[in-house]
């Protein structure tokens, strides 16, 4: 039975709590369990011993911030506590939904089909390590890719070999709208897994980071727009990129971008496709009902998640028009007007 190395255990514990990736944190936990077992202790007992002699921590940069804000804005602490409680309740509800969708926590962390394809694609470029989840399942992850150990958050850091591997692992999106849809899918997976991580965050595998970084680069400054939908996807990306950075739901407030989007929606609504169906700008003309119907059905097909009001804003039609065609597309009979609908000729906005 060995003597517990408290200094080493302290360093391992810091990695358990603050490791850069879930794999690093899990590996640190495994090392701590091995150290504790060698000393004839459980992990909890070893941590308890460590807590009794834990070295004083350096003063945090944010230490005292809440006190300062409370003095500046009385009630700040209560407000922050309410936000945390709301966030915790939202996370608990979402955690239950995720478990119901996946079936188990182990299934949440099981590699998806796309993750498996990316893993296979970068296999010749990687060196490997392993992490163990709370269910005891061992997962491998790329410790380095093409000799680099970074997280690849910048497209310029991705080598040509890595770029080729992750872009060819499965078909690359043919439109900017599909590129944005894939970014959202990866984000959702990251958030779902983060609900079950002690730190509250899940850091994706390196090859996934590469794929997402290249998709985001495409949306930012990559291929030129070929259709109206591509331009709209760039607007949608800028809104999404802003709003996803906040822990709590936050709507963007950028008057210039809002005006630019509205201008684009107006121009798009008053343009018609010519020459092989490619959408070019045309002088504004009065659209027929058939044009409006085609525009609405096209938007419902490409962006079914948008509300009737948002689609109406983009296309320059009424929300009622969008609602009517959405119901018809879904095979739902149109809503029958009631006497109360006809009592006043004044329509409330």
Q: What is the pLDDT of residue 101?
A: 92
Region label for 148, one of left (φ > 0), alpha (ψ between -120 and 50) or beta (otherwise): beta
Lookup: tokens for 66: 């809440």
142: which DSSP letter?
A: E
For the four alpha carbons of 296, 298, 304 and 306, in that order, the dihedral sign comes to negative
User: Would you list the domain boundaries of the chain?
Assistant: 6-56, 65-103, 107-222, 261-342
Distance CA 296, CA 246 (A): 32
Distance CA 49, CA 38 (A): 15
pLDDT digit string (tens) for 165-178? 999 999 999 999 99
pLDDT digit string (tens) for 14-68? 888 776 677 777 888 888 888 888 888 888 888 888 776 544 555 555 667 778 7
Q: Where are the beta strands (DSSP E) in 114-208?
A: 126-132, 138-145
% of residues, the chain, pLDDT over 90: 26
* Mean pLDDT computed over 205-213: 93
In 3-state terms, what secondary structure has residue 127? strand
Distance CA 114, CA 121 (A): 10
Q: What does the DSSP assignment read for 75-111?
A: THHHHHHHHHHHHHHHHHHHHHHHHHHHSSHHHHHSP
């Amino acid at each position: 039975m060995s003597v517990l190395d408290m200094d080493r255990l302290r360093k391992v514990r810091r990695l358990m709590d603050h490791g850069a990736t879930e794999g690093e944190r899990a590996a640190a936990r495994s090392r701590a369990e091995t150290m504790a077992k060698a000393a004839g202790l459980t992990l909890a007992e070893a941590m308890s011993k460590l807590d009794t002699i834990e070295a004083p921590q350096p003063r945090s940069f944010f230490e005292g911030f809440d006190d300062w804000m409370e003095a500046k804005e009385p009630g700040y602490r209560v407000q922050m506590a309410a936000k945390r409680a709301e966030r915790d309740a939202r996370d608990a509800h979402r955690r239950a939904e995720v478990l119901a969708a996946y079936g188990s926590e182990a299934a949440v962390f099981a590699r998806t089909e796309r993750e498996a394809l990316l893993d296979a694609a970068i296999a010749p470029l990687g060196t490997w390590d392993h992490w163990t989840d709370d269910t005891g399942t061992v997962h491998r992850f790329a410790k380095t890719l093409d000799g680099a150990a970074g997280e690849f958050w910048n497209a310029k850091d991705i080598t040509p070999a890595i770029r080729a591997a992750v872009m060819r692992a499965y078909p690359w999106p043919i439109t900017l709208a599909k590129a944005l849809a894939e970014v959202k899918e990866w984000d959702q997976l990251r958030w779902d897994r983060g609900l079950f991580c002690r730190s509250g965050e899940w850091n994706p595998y390196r090859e996934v980071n590469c794929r997402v970084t290249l998709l985001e680069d495409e949306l930012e400054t990559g291929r030129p727009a070929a259709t109206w939908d591509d331009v709209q996807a760039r607007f949608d990306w800028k809104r999404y990129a802003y709003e996803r950075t906040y822990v709590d739901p936050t709507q963007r407030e950028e008057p210039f971008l809002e005006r630019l989007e509205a201008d684009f929606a107006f121009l798009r609504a008053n343009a018609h496709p010519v020459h092989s169906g490619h959408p070019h700008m045309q002088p504004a003309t009065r659209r027929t009902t058939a044009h409006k119907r085609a525009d609405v059905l096209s938007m419902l097909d490409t962006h079914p998640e948008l509300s009737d009001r948002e689609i109406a804003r983009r296309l320059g039609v009424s929300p009622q028009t969008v609602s009517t065609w959405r119901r018809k597309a879904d095979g739902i009979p149109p809503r029958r007007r009631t006497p109360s609908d006809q009592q006043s000729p004044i329509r409330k906005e």
